[in-house]
A and B are shown apart, each in its own frame.
Chain A
């Protein structure tokens, strides 16, 4: 079942949580609402669920306008960040809750609970209480409980936010596989770009109550619509320079910028991701910056090199493969040349 959110605006007092937001969730897809805290992503999710009422705009489920339906009528599955399990009920009763309040026959309930516990791979824990489970287990029970009412859509509010790194990684992969199995249209909220890219079919980047960019993960990553998205999607090196006649200049570095063919010189910002920078011992002809190695972190699958440009005080983050790191034999204090393979230039919009 597809969801369309149209022109939603929501204010809390003077604070505008959502400012004319529209989002399309195609049937059967898994969409991530990605953004920093305060960007309105959770509010949007709660509006889709019916837990908050928008000041204006509408929510459509397939073609039905559900804006004025209560959360109870919408039949959505919702997974909370802190699980929200009923601690006085055991696992079985938690999962069965939605069916119990709908007065479904006992036999059907116990069959369905068994199926769901199998689906979340927690069979045999029926008699445990939530306090006796680990965080990851609790979140899977919460998911089983949400699925028990056979929801039209599944909404997850920072579902892995309260878990530690390893469990988070496991559950993320598991959620993706689960989604491929059940194909329920799903929306999840996260502030972790890696999580969004790894799990979602479509990513919506939000900031200050607005949608900055929406698209497939690789699209958003490769072609960020604006500096915010570029900046938010992971580590990035930022250079402030000028553009003129289709060329951008920062210190000794000069790159193409066909988007700005004008003759008038303007300030511009250049963004380069750490893995798009190359380190050489001597200038190889390509545009490069002279820099001094400050610190190296080679623990991990990539070597992270922190440098300081010689000509002007700007720090650089560079990520290179361990092999390349071995070849270069870098150590702190070395003077090297850093050249970008790919640069994105953003020229601030004209202000008249």
Chain B
């Protein structure tokens, strides 16, 4: 390294080496193994495994509920983050700590609790089911539980951004004659977009990969409420490992493409940061 290149902290090559090693051990090698296993199938076999009406319905269902629940998460998460940052109220710190609970809770517990609450005989279900709201064993049930799991990602990405907003920006807008809603939509909201996109990406990723809670609340009805990971488990139980990984590969590729797209969107939304 030339002297002009010296950084305060040395060891670039060492740390890069470690990073690559861990990336390889933890992510790249397992992924490669997954792809290798899947490609042990012939093209026709692969196609037959991943593209049946049932698997297509499962992909559609997985992606639809993940997107819908992520949208719900950013709306609800935004409100929660806003209240936590802008207002003081009793037990605020406890409430704040509760936000992290879905991170730690085994998701199967969330699934069991949700299905228990919303079934026809459950605490909430006994009132909701007569109204036609099925909060268990339905598509809506999956959206509910995924939103529960997605909200903390949105809250935790938005909170620091909301905290760093300076009062003088809002005061400037107000003095220039902006109403409250104009101040919010023209001055505050645009600066939150990058964080909202990040929160969306994180909760979407969570939703796409979720299994534990969904199997309990969805009812796993083929063509209706069956998610792709459930099909993978079904294939595994039939000892059809290659077919199981083939479905996994399709999920991986679509998810990766979506996350790349969201990353580009995020970068675009930050274009005015020098």
Closest A residue to B173 by CB, please name it.
Answer: A97
A selection of 12 A-B contacts at a CB cut-off of 8 Å is A50-B175, A72-B178, A78-B171, A86-B172, A86-B173, A97-B178, A98-B176, A101-B173, A129-B272, A131-B274, A146-B175, A149-B176
A88 adjacent to chain B (CB < 8 Å): yes
Given contacts A87-B191, A88-B191, A131-B272, contact A72 B177 (CB under 8 A): yes
Report B133-176 CB contacts with A as 1/0, cut-off 8 Å: 00000000000000000000000000000000010110111111
Q: Which 5 A-B pairs have the closest CB atoms?
A: A131-B274, A98-B176, A84-B168, A84-B172, A129-B272
Tell me the complex Cα distance, A84–B175, Å.
12
Tell me the complex Cα distance, A148–B175, Å.
12
Instruction: Choose among B169, B272, B274 the residue that contacts A84 (Cβ–Cβ < 8 A).
Output: B169
Closest chain B CB from A145 CB (angstroms): 7
Instruction: Choose among A88, A90, A101, A145 the residue that contacts B178 (Cβ–Cβ < 8 A).
Output: A101
B182 adjacent to chain A (CB < 8 Å): yes
Chain A residues contacting B169 (CB-CB under 8 Å) are: 84, 86
Chain A residues contacting B171 (CB-CB under 8 Å) are: 51, 71, 78, 80, 84
Tell me the complex Cα distance, A75–B171, Å.
13
User: What is the predominant secondary structure among interface residues of chain B facing chain A?
Assistant: helix
Tell me the complex Cα distance, A76–B177, Å.
9
Tell whether, in the assembled complex, residue A101 and residue B272 are in contact, meaning their CB atoms are under 8 Å apart: no
Which B87-123 residues have a C-beta within 8 angstroms of A?
A: none
B30 adjacent to chain A (CB < 8 Å): no
Tell whether, in the assembled complex, residue A149 and residue B274 are in contact, meaning their CB atoms are under 8 Å apart: no
Tell me the complex Cα distance, A90–B190, Å.
13
Tell whether, in the assembled complex, residue B190 and residue A49 are in contact, meaning their CB atoms are under 8 Å apart: no
Closest chain A CB from B22 CB (angstroms): 34
Closest A residue to B176 by CB, please name it.
Answer: A98
Please report the number of residue pairs spanning A and B whose Cβ atoms sit closer than 8 angstroms: 71
A102 adjacent to chain B (CB < 8 Å): yes
Chain B residues contacting A89 (CB-CB under 8 Å) are: 190, 272
B128 adjacent to chain A (CB < 8 Å): no
B267 adjacent to chain A (CB < 8 Å): no
Tell me the complex Cα distance, A347–B222, Å.
97
B179 adjacent to chain A (CB < 8 Å): yes
Given contacts A88-B191, A131-B274, contact A80 B186 (CB under 8 A): no
Chain A residues contacting B177 (CB-CB under 8 Å) are: 72, 75, 98, 101-102, 149
Given contacts A71-B174, A101-B178, contact A82 B168 (CB under 8 A): yes
Tally of contact residues, A, Cβ under 8 A: 30
Tell me the complex Cα distance, A146–B177, Å.
11
Closest B residue to A73 by CB, please name it.
Answer: B177
Which A134-154 residues have a C-beta within 8 angstroms of B?
A: 145-146, 148-149
Closest chain A CB from B196 CB (angstroms): 13
Question: Which among B172, B179, B191 has the highest number of chain A CB atoms within 10 Å?
Answer: B172
Tell whether, in the assembled complex, residue A80 and residue B174 are in contact, meaning their CB atoms are under 8 Å apart: no
Tell whether, in the assembled complex, residue B176 and residue A145 are in contact, meaning their CB atoms are under 8 Å apart: yes
A132 adjacent to chain B (CB < 8 Å): yes
Tell whether, in the assembled complex, residue B274 and residue A97 are in contact, meaning their CB atoms are under 8 Å apart: no
Question: Which among A71, A84, A132, A146 has the highest number of chain B CB atoms within 10 Å?
Answer: A84
B265 adjacent to chain A (CB < 8 Å): no
Tell me the complex Cα distance, A127–B273, Å.
14
B262 adjacent to chain A (CB < 8 Å): no
Tell me the complex Cα distance, A97–B174, Å.
11
B230 adjacent to chain A (CB < 8 Å): no
Closest A residue to B187 by CB, please name it.
Answer: A86
Tell whether, in the assembled complex, residue B168 and residue A87 are in contact, meaning their CB atoms are under 8 Å apart: no
Which A18-66 residues have a C-beta within 8 angstroms of B?
A: 49-51
Closest chain B CB from A10 CB (angstroms): 17
Which B229-267 residues have a C-beta within 8 angstroms of A?
A: none
Tell me the complex Cα distance, A212–B235, Å.
86
Closest chain A CB from B166 CB (angstroms): 7
Closest chain B CB from A139 CB (angstroms): 13
Additional A-B contacts beyond A78-B172, A84-B171 (5; CB < 8 A) = A72-B178, A82-B166, A88-B191, A101-B178, A101-B186
Closest chain A CB from B105 CB (angstroms): 36
Chain A residues contacting B272 (CB-CB under 8 Å) are: 87-90, 129-131
Closest B residue to A98 by CB, please name it.
Answer: B176
Tell me the complex Cα distance, A299–B134, Å.
84
Which A162-219 residues have a C-beta within 8 angstroms of B?
A: none
Which B13-49 residues have a C-beta within 8 angstroms of A?
A: none
Chain A residues contacting B274 (CB-CB under 8 Å) are: 129, 131-132
Report A101-131 CB contacts with B as 1/0, cut-off 8 Å: 1100000000000000000000000000111
Chain A residues contacting B191 (CB-CB under 8 Å) are: 87-88
Tell me the complex Cα distance, A244–B37, Å.
106
Tell whether, in the assembled complex, residue B273 and residue A78 are in contact, meaning their CB atoms are under 8 Å apart: no
Chain A residues contacting B187 (CB-CB under 8 Å) are: 86
Tell whether, in the assembled complex, residue A84 and residue B166 are in contact, meaning their CB atoms are under 8 Å apart: yes
Closest chain A CB from B175 CB (angstroms): 5
Tell me the complex Cα distance, A297–B243, Å.
85
Tell whether, in the assembled complex, residue B178 and residue A51 are in contact, meaning their CB atoms are under 8 Å apart: no
Given contacts A84-B168, A88-B190, contact A76 B273 (CB under 8 A): no
